[in-house]
Amino acid sequence: MDYAKIEKKWNEKWEKDGLYRFDETKLDNKYYLLEMFSYPSGLNLHLGHWWNFGLSDSFGRFKRMQGYNVFQPMGFDSFGLPAENFALKTGIHPEDSTLHNIHVMEEQLRNIGGTFNWENEIITCKPEYYKWTQWLFVQLYKKGLAYQKEAPVNWCPSCNTVIANEQVVDGLCERCGTEVVRKNMKQWFFKITDYAERLLSGLDKINWPQKTKILQKNWIGKSVGCEVDFKTEDGKEKLTVFTSRVDTIYGVSWLVIAPEHPKLSKFVTSDRKAEVDKYVAEAAKKDEIARSSTNNEKTGVFTGTYVINPLTGAKVPLFVADYVIATYATGIVMGVAAHDERDYDFAKVYGVKVVQVIEGKNGEQVKLPYTEPGRLINSAEFNGLTSEEAREKIAEKLEKMGAGRRKVNYKLRDWSVSRQRYWGCPIPIIYCPHCGTVPVPESDLPVILPRIHDYKPEGEGPLGKVESYMNVKCPHCGAPARRDPDTLDAFVCSSFYHLRYIDPRNDKEIFSSEKANKVGPIDTYVGGVEHATAHLMYARFITMFLHDLRLINFEEPFKRLVHQGMVLGSDGKKMSKRNGGKTADEYVNEFGSDALRLTMMFSMNYIDGGPWNDEGLKHMTAFMERVERIVKKWCALGDDNADLNGSEEQDLEYARAYCVKEMRAGFEDFSFNTAVARLMELVNAMYKYDKNERKNGVLAKSVAKDVIRLIAPAAPHFSEQLWQDIGEEYSIHNQLYPVCDETKLVRSSVEIAVQVNSKIITRMNILANAANDEILKVVKANDRVKPLLEGKNILKEIIVPGRIVNIIVK
């Protein structure tokens, strides 16, 4: 076949015919399949895009051939740092470069031969989309979930903007690799913490990889415990700590307050001020992730203040240390060296007393630090209680004393959404000297992002320099007012895109609730695990919020989540042009898109990823030619020998049934490599049967046509052409995927490997239902095995049914 010619031909016909158009009138059997949309920051579709979009498209084709009405829209996440940085690098305006890149990527994605519903395309940088990003902000503001405050934030000196905790990797900016610093700034936040418990409990209702659920659970970080009040020596001030281990309160040797805690200065004595100020300044240079790491050396400075343990009356010192974060719980923690590894390390450095208050569950001696639950010692009337019992009893006592209370805390922080960059969705807020903070009226949305040419980041939003944009009348009183100069985090745009896809041309509402409730939620969502604590968390939060607005009747956006692995270079490193990586277009031009798709499917596991070797393309092309030859030959057979049903026919029936069963399971589980491997086995079985002089023509044609159906999701153009060549009615993609006939999964004979002392001697065909003694009798009589057993003692006979016979001799 001329693959380039047939791919062009069928792509054009499929698009003209609307073959894959989603039927909005038939939603009883809908299947919403979505891949995370792309950043259009580069010009070429690389193999990673193919890996993500091409192979998941094959899954969509498979679902379509199962009879589902598949909705698989496509769009572009076109605001944010990637697109703006690309524009700064090339000198081309972000709008121009972004829209050009989108056009190029649209063409390349079409060449994949995907079943994408382009009529539902969305582009987040277009006003018709970001109108609804702004509308969403206004709704959050009205419900008290969007608020402004001055807070320590992660600041990237290179990108000159705030970045979220999720965008800091090992203390560096995820985008540019620059060391992130902490900086106090007035920012807009979304109150995702109000949804912490729902985000946590909702994980039990969705089919996601366990590792991703664990990442989100740890990020939310639910902790059940107590707040305890420690008063200063003079009784004038109190410091409230949060602890999940109130059973260890009798072992408290010090308290620690966060360097950025707003009340720190109250507790610093004059003789300690210089050292504390120096320490606080150094801590401000570190990001929260690095400070919280258990691997870092523990540092701290004594504030000069002592506080009183409410239960023991003991006087304990107050330190300031950067391993405590002000925004988590109260920003003050207890130091219990005997029962916390971090505290134990701190105590060794600063010579603080170590007081053991927990022993083993059965009273046994334990090595310190002992962090497990046990029984209390050195704890007054609570001695002998288990840790669990003591937590309840101690909490009761603290509450009666008015010195504490039960409390649930979460590590999850509110979502910082302000960005001091140009290429983003304008924040729909106006500041009036009389009315204060005023949201832009919904009737005035969208606030259009003006086209400016001086958009280099300088630490403040570039829009702040555009007077024609900034100056506006207050919607309430009409007085001169100013707009917010910042733009929104691009993750806000992607937090609801899956719902906007359903109704992208609706200019009256964010989407039709009726449509969204029928098409949503997403049945299978495909994307990288790197988004676990950012996009995937934010999309869940916003979907829950839209549910609370009664716009949708579901809380979770993605019922099933599949992570694709990374395609690496042949050397196991990240693929690039530098290490010989080609673009997808180069491979498609040489081998065709179907060969590329099949090779990627077969060469590695989709979930794990792995090294790419383009040698496989030649072998896959040869396999496709092999399929074409046998299929055309068998479909040209007459109906001769239709009643022929010997062992050879039964073996062929078995090979087909087994292949169908395994390929269906492989596609369903995204185990494409095993699916293609089973197809290859079936083709081998066909060539084996083809050697027979007499063939059942009816069976042969049936198997040949099933092979075209089986390969169709993986090689859409090739299968369409082959279907036409054998005279079948257009289109193969309207055919139902083969269903396994379980009655055929019975073999007349099986091939087994015969081993002597675990070394393979030969392979033999034996009756599938033969008893073990019959198998051994046949094996021992074999001409190649018999001489190896003569004069030897047989120590052991191992039989793995249908696979191996291993005779151990001496």
Whether the predicted pLDDT of 253 surpasses 80: yes
Distance CA 83, CA 105 (A): 14
Give residue 193's pLDDT band: very low, low, confident or very high (50, 70, 90): very high
Q: What average pLDDT score do residues 533-542 get?
A: 97
End-to-end CA distance of the chain: 57
Whether the predicted pLDDT of 366 surpasses 90: yes
User: Going from the N-terminus, what domains does the chain have, and what CATH number goes with each?
Assistant: 132-204+416-490 (no CATH), 222-410 (3.90.740.10), 615-744 (1.10.730.10), 749-809 (3.10.20.590)
Q: Kind and range of the H or E element at 334?
A: strand 332-335
Higher pLDDT, 159 or 30: 30
Q: Kind and range of the H or E element at 635?
A: helix 616-635
Sign of the alpha-carbon dihedral angle for 39, 44, 48, 49: positive
Q: Kind and range of the H or E element at 589?
A: helix 584-591
Higher pLDDT, 206 or 172: 206
Q: What is the pLDDT of residue 156?
A: 86
Task: Decide: 253 and 567 in contact? Cβ < 8 Å.
Answer: no
Distance CA 122, CA 494 (A): 11
Distance CA 321, CA 731 (A): 68
Distance CA 422, CA 84 (A): 8
Q: What is the pLDDT of residue 579?
A: 47
Distance CA 538, CA 416 (A): 11
Give residue 578's pLDDT band: very low, low, confident or very high (50, 70, 90): very low
Whether the predicted pLDDT of 727 surpasses 90: yes
The amino acid occupying position 230 is F
Q: What is the pLDDT of residue 42?
A: 61
Mean pLDDT, rounded, of the chain:
93
The structure tokens listed for 328 are 């988590």
| Model confidence pLDDT, tens digit, residues 336-359 | 999 999 999 999 999 999 999 999
Whether the predicted pLDDT of 461 surpasses 80: yes
Q: What is the pLDDT of residue 43?
A: 61
E-assigned strand segments in 527-613: 561-562, 566-568, 609-611
Give residue 571's pLDDT band: very low, low, confident or very high (50, 70, 90): confident
Half-sphere exposure of 366 (CA within 13 A, CB side): 20
Q: What average pLDDT score do residues 553-576 get?
A: 88
Q: What is the pLDDT of residue 154?
A: 82
Q: Which SS3 state, helix, strand or coil, does residue 528 take?
A: coil
Highest averaged pLDDT of the listed ranges 76-90, 491-505, 569-583: 491-505
Distance CA 95, CA 112 (A): 26
C-alpha 224 chain-centroid distance: 28
Whether the predicted pLDDT of 749 surpasses 80: no
DSSP lists the bridge partners of residue 753 as 763, 804
Whether the predicted pLDDT of 797 surpasses 90: yes
DSSP code per residue over 388-438: HHHHHHHHHHHHHHTSEEEEEEES---EE-EE--SSSEEP-EEEETTTEEE
Whether the predicted pLDDT of 172 surpasses 90: no
DSSP lists the bridge partners of residue 800 as 804
Whether the predicted pLDDT of 288 surpasses 90: no
Sign of the alpha-carbon dihedral angle for 623, 628, 631, 637: negative
Whether the predicted pLDDT of 551 surpasses 50: yes
User: Which residues touch 660 (CB under 8 Å, ≥6 apart)?
Assistant: 706, 710, 738, 739, 740, 741
Distance CA 732, CA 509 (A): 39
Higher pLDDT, 294 or 30: 30
Whether the predicted pLDDT of 290 surpasses 80: no
Q: Lowest-pLDDT range, 29-38, 456-465, 468-477, 585-594?
A: 456-465
Q: Lowest-pLDDT range, 90-99, 210-219, 220-229?
A: 90-99
Distance CA 374, CA 387 (A): 6
Distance CA 542, CA 190 (A): 10
CA-angle at 139, arms to 138 and 140, nearest 5° = 90
Q: Which SS3 state, helix, strand or coil, does residue 110 take?
A: helix
Task: Decide: 230 and 309 in contact? Cβ < 8 Å.
Answer: yes
DSSP code per residue over 276-292: HHHHHHHHTTS-HHHHH
Whether the predicted pLDDT of 213 surpasses 70: yes
| Model confidence pLDDT, tens digit, residues 370-403 | 999 999 999 999 999 999 999 999 999 999 999 9
The structure tokens listed for 26 are 């038939």
The structure tokens listed for 58 are 């094959």
Distance CA 244, CA 242 (A): 7
The structure tokens listed for 122 are 């969305």
DSSP alpha helices (H): ranges in 284-337? 288-292
In order of 230, 312, 585, the CA distances from 398 in angstroms are: 11, 12, 69
